[in-house]
A and B are shown apart, each in its own frame.
Chain A
């Protein structure tokens, strides 16, 4: 077998293992309470009858390990269980919301990725001069600002004062793509700003790292033009770190989406998760946590696989 194939398969296997382990950790996370989960969910005033019913429903009479495998088995068959609060099938409810969240994240990615790479290149081109300093100053600031502040500032100034776009981002099936995009304009801007800083900074570092290699000096001493130096020598080596940066930040986007959805009352996964944490609806929380973790783990795995595939040492073994 080609060694690179072996490495990729190894990484895939590790990803799967990590997923299973993460599911166990999430399951365990809802078990670490020293006392009784049912009591904690229903509160001190619950009747013994209600407690008993809830225990039976959560399967608390079964040993935890067996409960975990029952749950995992269900998940593998597409059965995420039923919500405690509204008795609806979780997989059904979640399907639509996951779609909405991905819709939001997709547009944020479409805007932020090219923009971040462009600004990162700009910062490298003017390294140490004012465009670079401006970019790194803004980056420092935006890393320190909570997502909801960006959200509310935009709502306050753009939606309320200027009356552009709407303060809440409601979308439904009846809307056309244009209407939907108008509705999600503000949350997309917020998400873009949130990931832009990280992505740009990491892109800048990745390109600078390549530009400082000795082989770039060799190319310059061959008398090549700066364009040729970048296109022929820097770019092929910079793709992998940049793709890596992009993937890691898309993973970051997945988390940023939770807060942004709450700010804009957007009917997506984040809102769904937060609502049900407050209601202590454990099966929904477990299912949402698992989905978020799975997306996060997959993106990280793709980042790793891209760097394996683009490494010339692995692609052309001795």
Chain B
């Protein structure tokens, strides 16, 4: 027991929820979870949304967010049960023995105070060292975490530095009091993929150098595989599997873990190039009232029944390209040919067939469907609008579409709020299919979904492509998805297409610097990947 830093026994966590207009009721979030953590070890907590992983992480500080409260079990930190401590005793643990790194550092820093003051606050408050010492230590940490100008970095305000830097500063804040345990709560999830890898590496180095123990919470198994010594897989508030990282990744025991590990293993045979259905010719575009081009001279094309993936990070212009193709943003130069005709640059100038044959599916299925319409109305409207279907004929067709998206008969009268995330996205797919389109633009359609659900959606899209011979313009920042479904790929960077060709061409070296950085930054589910990548990199990521 001497080495045992954290010992959680039979932890139960509940919350009272207050749905508007209904009676409040209690729900169980964590149902009896036990684990231990030795000094200096890193435990990864992994699970899909709703698995209770963040809640468990915060319980190591005896903290419940919102209405969440710990209803049973024991949490021992350094040998004493912190759930039994007085508020004063608990405050002595928080910020001293255990510290916390939040997902959104941008919100977690007080906007009115300088970074240095906030980074050193806990150390000084708990009397762990004097202000001067704390500031010296902070500068050392800034340097270690690779922040620019570490001597003066602390004089800035939170809004004056980038998101990736803030996340590192938050790590420095957590390490400054020299705690025994740091809770990392999805620290890289909100970052771009090329920034994520640097922050991840910085966190990993800092953990190793300081010898601190950590709980690393994330939904991304590939990420946690890089930093943790052991992994605990959670689902619906219960533990599925707990073991050494190597065992979980390479020899998972439970079915659920196997599914998580093998996610994105869809095999897709690349199709032969053919005469295009969509050709984007020299498109340049800018938003009104701005003085720079969001897109400059973009040329891509897409064959019928094939998938073109547009890949890039936030701000690369990939979603803007979708807006230009759909006619929401008229380009300042260039033209778009679609199905043998040239499309009008504006939405108003397009014929009903132009609109029908070019459909769109959105990232957030939640807001892509009118919450006041039933599934039947949502899918039925395009049938009525484009084909004049009514009554029984319409209902039959709706049911056919529901069958195609693998949803049963009971859904036609349901409202979107009654569906799960994956079901919502399926309904959106059915709405697009209802128009019998030649091309569907898929804008980050799987980004908001849990990995297993996302996999189901990708498989469905591939099946539908085979059956309906529809082309996809697939916009994403996730290269794993691209590898799974694309026939051709366009890599975008700062409004330009930097690499374009068939999937094999694009993914075969030699790469240009940016593609190299981007491809290299996608976490792979193997141990030691992070080190391999960092040692062979040619270009610095932009988000630093």
Contacts and interface: CB of A to CB of B under 8 A. Distances in A.
A316 B96 contact: no
26 contacts: A214-B102, A217-B65, A217-B102, A217-B108, A218-B108, A218-B109, A218-B110, A218-B118, A221-B94, A222-B94, A222-B95, A222-B121, A222-B125, A223-B91, A223-B92, A223-B122, A224-B91, A224-B95, A224-B125, A225-B91, A228-B125, A232-B121, A236-B113, A312-B157, A313-B111, A316-B159
A221 B100 contact: yes
A244 to B, nearest CB: 16
Contacts of A221: 61, 63, 94-95, 99-100
Interface residues of B, number: 29
B502 interface: no
Interface string A226-256: 0010001100110000000000000000000
B93 A223 contact: yes
B89 to A, nearest CB: 10
B274 interface: no
A224 B111 CA distance: 18
Nearest to A317: B160
Nearest to B106: A214
A178 B516 CA distance: 82
B104 interface: yes
Most buried by B among A215, A222, A224, A232: A222
A222 B122 CA distance: 5
A222 B93 CA distance: 9
B217 to A, nearest CB: 14
A223 B93 CA distance: 7
Contacts, number: 73
B368 interface: no
A50 to B, nearest CB: 58
Interface in B420-459: none
Interface in B109-126: 109-113, 118, 121-122, 125-126
9 pairs of A and B residues whose beta carbons are closest in the complex:
A222-B95, A223-B95, A223-B94, A214-B107, A222-B122, A223-B91, A215-B110, A236-B112, A221-B100
Contact of B102 (A218, A222, A312, A318): A218
A214 B94 contact: no
B47 to A, nearest CB: 22
Nearest to B94: A223
A219 interface: yes
Contacts of A220: 63, 94
Nearest to A221: B100
A233 B110 contact: yes
A86 interface: no
Interface string B49-63: 000000000000101
A176 interface: no
B104 A214 contact: yes
Contacts of A214: 102, 104, 107-108
Contact of B100 (A218, A225, A236): A218
Interface string A170-200: 0000000000000000000000000000000
Contacts of B121: 222, 224, 232
- Chain A contact surface mostly: helix
Interface string B475-514: 0000000000000000000000000000000000000000
A237 B108 contact: no
Interface of A: 213-215, 217-225, 228, 232-233, 236-237, 312-313, 316, 318
A222 B61 CA distance: 10
A265 B126 CA distance: 62
Contact of A215 (B63, B94, B95, B108): B108
Interface of B: 61, 63, 65, 90-96, 99-100, 102, 104, 107-113, 118, 121-122, 125-126, 157, 159-160
A236 B125 CA distance: 19
Contacts of B99: 221-222
B308 to A, nearest CB: 37
A88 to B, nearest CB: 53
B126 A223 contact: yes
B189 to A, nearest CB: 15
A228 B61 CA distance: 19
Contacts of B122: 222-224
A318 B165 CA distance: 14
B110 A237 contact: yes
A318 B99 CA distance: 29
Most buried by B among A213, A225, A316: A316
Contacts of A236: 110, 112-113
Contacts of A218: 100, 102, 108-110, 118
Contacts of A313: 111, 157, 159
B169 to A, nearest CB: 12
A310 B295 CA distance: 37
A223 B87 CA distance: 10
A215 B107 contact: yes
Contacts of B108: 214-215, 217-218
Contacts of B111: 215, 237, 312-313
Most buried by A among B95, B111, B112: B112
A223 B62 CA distance: 11
Contact of B125 (A213, A223, A237): A223
A194 B96 CA distance: 48
B112 A312 contact: yes
A225 B87 CA distance: 9
B61 A316 contact: no
B110 A219 contact: yes
Nearest to A218: B108
A223 B160 contact: no
B126 to A, nearest CB: 6
Contacts of B63: 220-221
Nearest to B126: A223
A228 B124 CA distance: 13
A251 to B, nearest CB: 26
A214 B103 CA distance: 10
Contacts of A215: 107-111
B100 A318 contact: no
Contacts of B118: 218
A309 to B, nearest CB: 12
Nearest to B103: A214
Given A215-B109, A218-B118, A221-B61, 12 more contacts: A219-B110, A221-B95, A222-B95, A222-B122, A223-B94, A223-B125, A224-B121, A225-B91, A233-B110, A236-B110, A312-B112, A312-B157
Given A223-B93, A223-B96, A223-B126, A318 B109 contact: no
Nearest to B63: A221
B159 A318 contact: yes
B122 to A, nearest CB: 4
B156 to A, nearest CB: 8
